[in-house]
Amino acid sequence: MDPEAFLEMANQVTKLKMFPYFDVAHCALCCLYVREDLGTGGLPFSRKHPLANWLSSMITIFAGGLITNFLLGEPILGAIKNNQQLLLATAVWRDLAARIHRGDDQRGFLAAINNRLIDPLPNSALIEISTRAYEPPPPPPTARP
């Protein structure tokens, strides 16, 4: 690949806004990890103690920031001072909790993330694009007298 084209593509990727997409995926995976960590008794526990479930999910989601602030000597709860991230994490936790309480499969949530946020084109469109790239161009139109 041409180095200049690669550099241009890298510059375009760095300009993308990544706030909601990667944070939603990170929050969903952390909440699913907490659910898995609770084991088979997790559903009754989360229904009986929703605040404890929320707190353990938030600690898991913001673990990197909490540990970093502790090691740097900054306020530990400074990691969650961004209200937008805290509300996003709470919304993802609430959505997953509602789906789990209804008995929905959490894979549906991850599929929705994959379809809407990470992979906006369906596979059929990708196949159509890739096959179209290998087709020869149509012949130029002929001039009419």
Instruction: Give the per-residue pLDDT at 125.
Output: 44
Q: How far apart are CA 21 and CA 107, in angstroms?
A: 17
From the CB of residue 26, how many other CB atoms can be counted at a distance below 10 Å? Answer: 16
Is the pTM higher than 0.75? The answer reads: no
Specify the amino acid at residue 72.
L
Q: CB under 8 Å to 64, separation ≥6 — which residues?
A: 79
Instruction: Give the per-residue pLDDT at 105.
Output: 55
Mean pLDDT of the chain: 78
pLDDT digits (tens, 9 = 90+) for 101-124: 666 555 555 555 555 444 444 444
